[in-house]
């Protein structure tokens, strides 16, 4: 019959029944079940630091028949009169419990529930012990059963820290945020292994730099030692004290601090048999304690008999012996360890691409140039920030000026950019000349480059020392003008036939007898006006013309100065800068003066 009661206790205690302090209001929720059966719903595991609130429903058997179905040693068809839940011990600290009722008469009531609530303080695997009294045929028997209850850690191994900037190319500087802060509470310790040869015990370490390619495992450990020490259980293994008449002793235990002050006194267990366990969960401070085991009625005079006394501290977990008495102390000290890991990855930074040219600079308009990339694949050409997606070859033919570069991207996603190649196709200088009275003149000299070289040729031969804006011919022939931009090296030329006119030797007429002294033209360079002065010995007309370098007439006047000294002014303030030629004709004679307008 004792076996039947023990199995009933198992049925009631196969799930968590925390310490009874008040979780009222559980709700019975059972599936469709036979009337006489054994059933206990499951309760999920908990997590330290997380509020727990669960209802567990159960149905107790009316008879021993459901028990006998799984244990042939139990006789079937015996009516169970009463089951009483008496205690639940060794629960996770922080959890509470309350049942719908404590006493059950299976003939009238078999269904009940228990509510578990509270916040588990510590993680771990707890062996919960449930004690019940079962009555069959007016015999009451106490029995107990232990079962495991798992409380998971308050943090998962991936919640210890967050990692900022965990991947990069060439070099990575990562930052770390501790997600398990101490908030200045003692008992927290940390160990960081950054994977790069550096470690730290700081709560909030500084950034770490990973300057070489590789995979760097980050290991984080937080140890939380803040819960204190608790005497969870005293298990009396052996005692030498018995009642005078040979009966089992009535045992109790008392615990005293180092001043002799009683800190715990248990209830009396009548006719106790060993091993005998007392669950306390008594907080322990530093210092010495004594534990006294007493037989409540063992003395001849009726006083208590001391079965044994042992001294202990909060570090004395294990078996202690005093003469014939031995007991096992279970001292609980919760230390949470949170382990997290992550990885920093540093990929190889590729070398920047190199661009080579099919020919060296300078380049002139109309030239073609080929650029060569040092990478054969995984690259993109760019021109002035615009990708040239149509070209996938490492060779790029260009005819347009611009800024060119190459972006290479490795298979790891790391990019490298070549230096910018600025390609300029320089314009050719304009090389055109006009012919007037044997004088060859460059057309629009104001458009010449900043630095230039002028060369004149006749019939394919270079004319020595002829490098001016004009050239006065002495013979007929094919004349060629070549202008070179000294900055770019670009050169252009212009050719045309020129017939020598003997009426204009040295580009002037042979007759100058009309002037008693040489003509004077000033200022040169011209400003707002140009002046002409001289001494005239005739009364004929003077034809004055101002030519631009392109041969166009910009000013023209006819004057008849009186004989003798004369002076003539011509306004030029509206003329642009450039080269000009002033022609003065009198009869068959002509003189030409070269002028500059700033």
| Alpha-carbon gap, residue 76 to 405, rounded angstroms | 92
Domain membership of residue 344 (yes or no) is no
Q: What is the pLDDT of residues 324-333, one digit of tens each?
A: 999 999 998 8
| 242/190: higher pLDDT | 190
Residues 98 and 12 in one domain: yes
| 376/5: higher pLDDT | 376
Q: What is the pLDDT of residues 480-529, one digit of tens each?
A: 999 999 988 898 888 888 888 877 777 765 444 566 667 889 999 998 89
What stretch of H or E contains 15?
none
Residues 177 and 319 in one domain: no
The answer to whether 44 and 152 are in contact (CB under 8 A) is no
Residues 137 and 19 in one domain: yes
Q: How much is the average pLDDT of 110-128?
A: 74
- The pLDDT of residue 390 is 86
| Alpha-carbon gap, residue 223 to 202, rounded angstroms | 12
Residue 3: count of CB within 10 angstroms of its CB: 15
Q: To which residue do tokens 């012990």 refer?
A: 129
Residue 128: count of CB within 10 angstroms of its CB: 21
Cβ partners under 8 Å of residue 500, min gap 6: 438, 473, 474, 475, 476
- The pLDDT of residue 354 is 97
Domain membership of residue 218 (yes or no) is yes
Domain membership of residue 339 (yes or no) is no
- The pLDDT of residue 32 is 92
Residue 175: count of CB within 10 angstroms of its CB: 13
Query: In the chain, how long is the greatest CA-to-CA distance?
Result: 176
Q: How much is the average pLDDT of 361-379?
A: 92
Residues 305 and 400 in one domain: no
Q: How much is the average pLDDT of 198-202?
A: 97
Q: How much is the average pLDDT of 364-373?
A: 92
The pTM of this model reads: 0.49
Q: Which of 70-74, 294-298, 554-558 has the highest mean pLDDT?
A: 554-558
Residue 3 pLDDT exceeds 80: no
Q: How much is the average pLDDT of 451-479?
A: 93
| 412/215: higher pLDDT | 215
Cβ partners under 8 Å of residue 528, min gap 6: 571, 572, 573
Residue 12 pLDDT exceeds 60: no
Q: Nearest-CA neighbor of 55 among 113, 98, 5?
A: 113
Quickly state the pLDDT bin for 416 (edges 50, 70, 90). very high
- The pLDDT of residue 530 is 92
Residues 238 and 217 in one domain: no
Residues 461 and 589 in one domain: no
- The pLDDT of residue 4 is 32
Q: How much is the average pLDDT of 188-216?
A: 96
Residues 197 and 237 in one domain: no
Residues 283 and 326 in one domain: yes
Domain membership of residue 51 (yes or no) is yes
Q: In the listed set 394, 409, 426, which residue is the last one of a domain according to the structure?
A: 426
Residues 545 and 473 in one domain: no
Please give the tally of structural domains in the chain. 6
Q: Could you give the angle at the alpha carbon of 192 between the alpha carbons of 188 and 195, nearest 5°?
A: 170
Residues 411 and 272 in one domain: no
Domain membership of residue 403 (yes or no) is yes
Residues 218 and 235 in one domain: no
Residue 153 pLDDT exceeds 70: no
Domain membership of residue 340 (yes or no) is no
| Alpha-carbon gap, residue 34 to 17, rounded angstroms | 24
Q: In the listed set 373, 391, 426, which residue is the last one of a domain according to the structure?
A: 426
- The pLDDT of residue 550 is 52
- The pLDDT of residue 98 is 85
Six-digit token string for 560: 């008849």
The residues that bridge with 132 in the sheet, in sequence order, are 85, 143
Q: In the listed set 333, 367, 393, which residue is the last one of a domain according to the structure?
A: 333
Positive/negative CA dihedral, 275, 277, 282, 283: positive
Domain membership of residue 524 (yes or no) is yes
Q: What is the pLDDT of residues 382-403, one digit of tens each?
A: 998 888 888 999 999 999 999 9
Q: Could you give the angle at the alpha carbon of 513 between the alpha carbons of 510 and 517, nearest 5°?
A: 110
- Quote the mean pLDDT of the chain: 83
Q: What is the pLDDT of residues 45-74, one digit of tens each?
A: 887 667 888 888 888 888 878 877 876 776
- The pLDDT of residue 552 is 63
- The pLDDT of residue 276 is 92
Residue 211 pLDDT exceeds 90: yes
CATH of the domain at 74: 2.60.40
What single string gives the DSSP state of each residue in 160-226? Answer: SEEEE--EEES-EEEEEEESS--TT-TTEEEEEE-SSS-EE--SS---EEE-SSEEEEEEEEEEE--
The answer to whether 254 and 267 are in contact (CB under 8 A) is no
| Alpha-carbon gap, residue 205 to 199, rounded angstroms | 9
Quickly state the pLDDT bin for 252 (edges 50, 70, 90). very high
**Is 37 in a helix, a strand, or coil?**
coil
Residues 45 and 126 in one domain: yes
Q: Which domain holds residue 375?
A: 350-426
| Alpha-carbon gap, residue 192 to 190, rounded angstroms | 7
Domain membership of residue 569 (yes or no) is yes
CATH of the domain at 520: 2.60.40.3080
Percentage of the chain surpassing pLDDT 70? 83
């Amino acid at each position: 019959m004792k076996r039947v009661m023990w199995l009933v206790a198992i049925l009631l205690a196969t799930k968590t029944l925390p310490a009874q302090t008040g979780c009222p209001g559980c709700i019975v929720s059972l599936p469709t079940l036979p009337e006489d059966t054994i059933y206990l719903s499951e309760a999920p595991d908990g997590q330290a630091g997380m509020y727990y609130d669960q209802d567990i429903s159960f149905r107790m058997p009316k008879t021993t028949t459901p028990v006998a179905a799984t244990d042939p040693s139990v006789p079937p068809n015996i009516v169970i009169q009463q089951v009483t839940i008496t205690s639940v011990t060794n629960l996770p600290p922080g959890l509470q419990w309350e049942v719908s009722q404590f006493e059950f008469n299976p003939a009238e009531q078999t269904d009940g529930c228990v509510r578990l609530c509270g916040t588990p303080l510590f993680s771990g695997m707890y062996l919960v012990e449930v004690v019940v009294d079962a009555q069959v045929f007016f015999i009451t028997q106490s029995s107990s059963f232990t079962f495991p209850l798992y409380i998971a850690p308050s943090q998962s191994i991936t919640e210890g820290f967050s990692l900022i900037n965990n991947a990069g190319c060439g070099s990575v500087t990562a930052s770390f945020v501790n997600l398990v802060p101490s908030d200045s509470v003692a008992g927290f310790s940390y160990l960081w292994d950054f994977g790069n040869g550096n470690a730290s015990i700081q709560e909030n370490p500084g950034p770490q730099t990973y300057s070489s390619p590789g995979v760097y495992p980050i290991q984080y450990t937080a140890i939380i030692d803040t819960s204190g020490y608790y005497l969870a259980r005293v298990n009396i293994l052996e005692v030498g004290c018995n009642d005078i008449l040979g009966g089992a002793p009535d045992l109790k235990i008392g615990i005293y601090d180092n001043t002799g002050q009683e800190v715990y006194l248990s209830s009396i267990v009548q006719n106790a048999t060993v091993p005998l366990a007392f669950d306390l969960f008594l907080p322990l401070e530093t210092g010495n304690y004594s534990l006294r085991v007493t037989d409540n009625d063992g003395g001849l005079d009726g006083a208590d008999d001391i079965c044994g006394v042992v001294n202990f501290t909060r570090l004395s977990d294990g078996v202690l012996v005093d003469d014939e008495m031995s007991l096992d102390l279970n001292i609980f000290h919760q230390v949470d360890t949170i382990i997290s890991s992550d990885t920093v990855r540093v990929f190889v930074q590729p070398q920047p691409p190199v661009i080579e040219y099919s020919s060296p600079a300078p380049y002139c308009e109309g030239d073609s140039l080929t650029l060569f990339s040092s990478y054969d694949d995984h690259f993109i050409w760019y021109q002035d920030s615009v990708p040239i997606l149509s070209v996938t070859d490492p060779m790029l033919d260009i005819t347009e000026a611009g800024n060119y570069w190459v972006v290479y991207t490795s298979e790891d996603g790391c990019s490298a950019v070549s230096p910018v190649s600025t390609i300029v196709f320089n314009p050719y200088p304009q090389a055109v000349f006009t012919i007037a009275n044997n004088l060859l003149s460059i057309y629009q000299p104001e458009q010449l480059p900043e630095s230039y070289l002028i060369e004149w040729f006749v019939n394919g031969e270079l004319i020595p020392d002829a490098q001016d804006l004009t050239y006065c011919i002495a013979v007929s022939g094919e004349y060629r003008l070549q202008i070179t931009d000294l900055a770019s090296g670009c050169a252009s030329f212009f050719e045309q036939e020129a017939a020598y006119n003997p009426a204009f030797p040295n580009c002037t007429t042979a007759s100058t007898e009309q002037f008693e002294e040489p003509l004077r033209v000033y200022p040169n360079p011209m400003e707002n006006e140009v002046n002409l002065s001289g001494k005239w010995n005739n009364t004929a007309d003077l034809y004055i013309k101002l030519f631009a370098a392109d041969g166009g007439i910009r000013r023209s006047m006819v004057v008849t100065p009186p004989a003798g000294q004369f002076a003539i002014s011509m306004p030029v303030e509206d003329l642009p800068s450039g080269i000009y030629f002033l022609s003065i004709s009198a009869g068959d004679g002509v003189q030409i003066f070269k002028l500059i307008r700033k």
